[in-house]
Amino acid sequence: MSEIPTAEQFDLVVVGGGPGGYSAALYAASAGMKVAMVEKDALGGTCLNRGCIPAKAFLETAAVHRHVAHAAEFGIESSAPTVNFAVTQQRKQKIVDGLVGGIAGMCKNRKVEVRNGTGRLGAGHTVTVTSPDGSTTELVGTSVILAAGSVPRLIPNFERGGPIMTSDEVLDLDYVPQRVVVIGGGAIGCEFASTFSDLGAEVTILEGLPKILPGLDSDVANVVVRSFKKKKINIRTGVNVTGHTPNDSGGTVVQFGEGETLEVDAVIVSVGRRPYSDELGLDGTGVVVCDRGFVEVDEFCRTGEDGVYAVGDLINTPQLAHVGYAEAIVCVKQALGERALPVQYDRVPWAIYCHPEVAFAGPGEEEAKAAGFNVVVAKHPFKANSRARIIDETDGLAKVIAEVGPDGRAGRILGVHMVGPWVTEQLIGGYLAVNWEATVDEVAEFIQPHPSLTELFGETVLSLTGRSFNG
Ligand SMILES: Cc1cc2nc3c(=O)[nH]c(=O)nc-3n(C[C@H](O)[C@H](O)[C@H](O)COP(=O)(O)OP(=O)(O)OC[C@H]3O[C@@H](n4cnc5c(N)ncnc54)[C@H](O)[C@@H]3O)c2cc1C
């Protein structure tokens, strides 16, 4: 008589090997849990393979192009740069492959069982894994974390193929399309617009809302808009895109607004991402998926099924890799029976890597006022900062939003918003201030190195004490 294979038992089974999933698996394994992780495609998920990392590798090529183009101003004579984007693509892939290999190596070292296949959750915490060859195995976890992530959204009349691309296809390009339209002026759309403009393409952004980068503090968004206009990016807001007609040369003519058209070589559809709960099964479980496809969770990332959690882009929280990491820790701590604190979503760090970069934590000025805070605000421009002048990157500012204290002076720091050179690397001081609920007086005691870009944050906080060195 043939034996019925029994399900393999684990302390934790993770479905999805992107940032939410692999961080959960590695963190749990480091705490001594026996872990399995199921991934149907490549480890690293969207972030490593089709998102954060490749997009930033492209942006770095754009930065090198900018530097070489302006090298003469630094006393370095060189010929005008030309782009070999096939090399950029190879370089990007090497970075991606190295990082994906790194995750595989860490999983091996920590004895995380990685299963290649599609995982479907059924009753009793059972995850059925269907391998690419069609065979199935069953894994049972005392706890289960769903981390199936998201995929690009599309809009009617714009099916992928030929010149119509989502971020997935753009990041596989080995040439720079000469005329590009980006549909959607959110963070990802702006990163692509910035990249291709800096590499010499003619770029137009078509945004249905009244402004690009909605949700950003206005002072910050205005700097990006001015910088984009200097790069000759054509920004059209308040326009709806209706369709397109392919031309004979591999491009297409996009229709938008009141009968307007634009002929381009590439259309980048960047209108957001939808949660990918499509292949998770969930029959016979208490896990609830809402109309928009998000798995419903409480503030501790607990689904409707006891012991089953969901993290990352699969749930309706900020679609950021590091938010997935934070949620993973919250879940694993609970699986370990430890006390976990919910993620404070209104204070997570945000970073947009277009040129100029944007970074912030906490509410902007308008948002803080709308929330009923009595605020006092200080902002200082990078053109007053010595390091920014040395690197010749003076567009941008640091803005600090503080609550007016009982003594009428600037008290607790609510938000720190920055735009300019390398601000994504400078946010940490502001992030800590906001999350530590530190006051202006406390943070003003800290010293920033000189000359450094971070002096601008220090100076902005100092000015809120009522005294300052500059302006
Ligand atoms: C162009 C671009 C740039 C971005 N830049 C940034 C950035 O700079 N910073 C930032 O923080 N975020 C950025 N993001 C967002 C970031 O990539 C996502 O927030 C992050 O990847 C979400 O992680 P996740 O683990 O929830 O999902 P994903 O990364 O989408 O991973 C989910 C994984 O689950 C797998 N999977 C799905 N269903 C199943 C199943 N049933 N069985 C097995 N496996 C399954 C998928 O194959 C995938 O590998 C960017 C995204 C894009 C597209």
User: What number is the average pLDDT over the span 46-63?
Assistant: 98
DSSP secondary-structure letter at 50?
A: H
Ligand 1 contact via 313 beta carbon (within 6 Å): yes
Alpha helices in 205-269, H assignment, sequence order = 218-230
- Report the separation in Å between the CA atom of 150 and the middle of ligand 1, taken as the mean of its atom positions: 6
Ligand 1 contact via 55 beta carbon (within 6 Å): yes
- The ligand 1 atom at the shortest distance from the C-alpha of residue 313 is 26
Cα→Cα distances 306→151, 280, 285, Å = 27, 17, 9
SS3 per residue for 191-219: HHHHHHHHCCCEEEEEECCCCCCCCCCHH
* Tokens (6 digits) for 55: 């997009």
Does position 82 have pLDDT exceeding 70, yes or no? yes
Question: What DSSP line would sit under 82-125, residue for residue?
Answer: ---HHHHHHHHHHHHHHHHHHHHHHHHHTT-EEEESEEEE-GGG
Query: For residue 471, what pLDDT band results from cuts at 50, 70 and 90?
Result: low
Is 450 an active-site residue? Answer: yes
In Å, the largest CA–CA distance within the chain is: 86
- Report the separation in Å between the CA atom of 215 and the middle of ligand 1, taken as the mean of its atom positions: 22
Ligand 1 contact via 220 beta carbon (within 6 Å): no
Interior/surface letters 232-264, b for 16+ CB within 10 angstroms, e for the rest: ebebbeebebeebeeeeeebbebbbeeeeebeb
Provide the 3-class DSSP secondary structure of residue 74.
Answer: helix
Ligand 1 contact via 275 beta carbon (within 6 Å): no
User: What number is the average pLDDT over the span 128-143?
Assistant: 97
Ligand 1 contact via 38 beta carbon (within 6 Å): yes
- Report the separation in Å between the CA atom of 387 and the middle of ligand 1, taken as the mean of its atom positions: 35
Strand pairing class (113-116; 357-361): unpaired
- The rounded Cα 127 to chain-centroid distance in angstroms is 29
What does the pLDDT look like over 265-322, one tens digit per residue?
999 999 999 999 999 999 999 999 999 999 999 999 999 999 999 999 999 999 999 9
Contact 128, 138 (CB under 8 A): yes
Pick the residue whose CA is nearest to atom 26 on ligand 1.
312
What does the pLDDT look like over 157-206, one tens digit per residue?
999 999 999 999 999 999 999 999 999 999 999 999 999 999 999 999 99
Contact 245, 391 (CB under 8 A): no
* Tokens (6 digits) for 133: 């060859």
Contact 224, 213 (CB under 8 A): yes
Give dist(CA 439, CA 280) in Å, integer.
45
Position 6 scores a pLDDT of: 78
Position 3 scores a pLDDT of: 56
What does the pLDDT look like over 232-274, one tens digit per residue?
999 999 999 999 999 999 999 999 999 999 999 999 999 999 9
Point out the least confidently predicted range of 4-8, 220-224, 386-390, 413-417. Answer: 4-8
Ligand 1 contact via 21 beta carbon (within 6 Å): yes
Pick the residue whose CA is nearest to atom 15 on ligand 1.
320
Contact 343, 330 (CB under 8 A): yes
User: What is the rounded radius of gyration, in angstroms, for the C-alpha atoms of the chain?
Assistant: 24
Cα→Cα distances 220→177, 188, 357, 396, 432, Å = 29, 17, 10, 8, 20
Ligand 1 contact via 147 beta carbon (within 6 Å): yes
Give dist(CA 156, CA 159) in Å, integer.
8
Give dist(CA 18, CA 164) in Å, integer.
26
Question: What DSSP line would sit under 297-361, residue for residue?
Answer: --TT-B-SSTTEEE-GGGSSS---HHHHHHHHHHHHHHHTT-------GGG--EEE-SSSEEEEE
User: What number is the average pLDDT over the span 78-83?
Assistant: 95
* Tokens (6 digits) for 382: 């990078």
Nearest Cα neighbor of 235 from 177, 190, 176 is 190
> How many other CB atoms are there within 10 angstroms of residue 359's CB atom?
25
Contact 178, 266 (CB under 8 A): no
DSSP secondary-structure letter at 295?
A: B
- Report the separation in Å between the CA atom of 151 and the middle of ligand 1, taken as the mean of its atom positions: 8
Does position 19 have pLDDT exceeding 70, yes or no? yes
Give dist(CA 415, CA 464) in Å, integer.
13
What does the pLDDT look like over 324-342, one tens digit per residue?
999 999 999 999 999 999 9
Contact 276, 152 (CB under 8 A): no
Interior/surface letters 82-103, b for 16+ CB within 10 angstroms, e for the rest: ebebeebbeebbebbeebbeeb
Provide the 3-class DSSP secondary structure of residue 35.
Answer: strand
Task: Determine which helix (DSSP H) or strand (DSSP E) holds 169, and give its type and residue range.
Answer: helix 167-170
Question: What DSSP line would sit under 140-158, residue for residue?
Answer: EEEEEEE---EEE---TT-
Query: For residue 5, what pLDDT band results from cuts at 50, 70 and 90?
Result: low
Mean pLDDT for the chain?
97
Position 470 scores a pLDDT of: 78
What's the predicted TM-score (pTM) here? 0.97
Contact 106, 100 (CB under 8 A): no
* Tokens (6 digits) for 82: 């030309």
Query: For residue 4, what pLDDT band results from cuts at 50, 70 and 90?
Result: low
Pick the residue whose CA is nearest to atom 7 on ligand 1.
52
- CA 69-70-76 angle, 5° bins: 100
Does position 2 have pLDDT exceeding 70, yes or no? no
Pick the residue whose CA is nearest to atom 52 on ligand 1.
51
User: What number is the average pLDDT over the span 129-135?
Assistant: 97
The distance in angstroms from the start CA to the end CA of the chain is: 86
Does position 376 have pLDDT exceeding 60, yes or no? yes
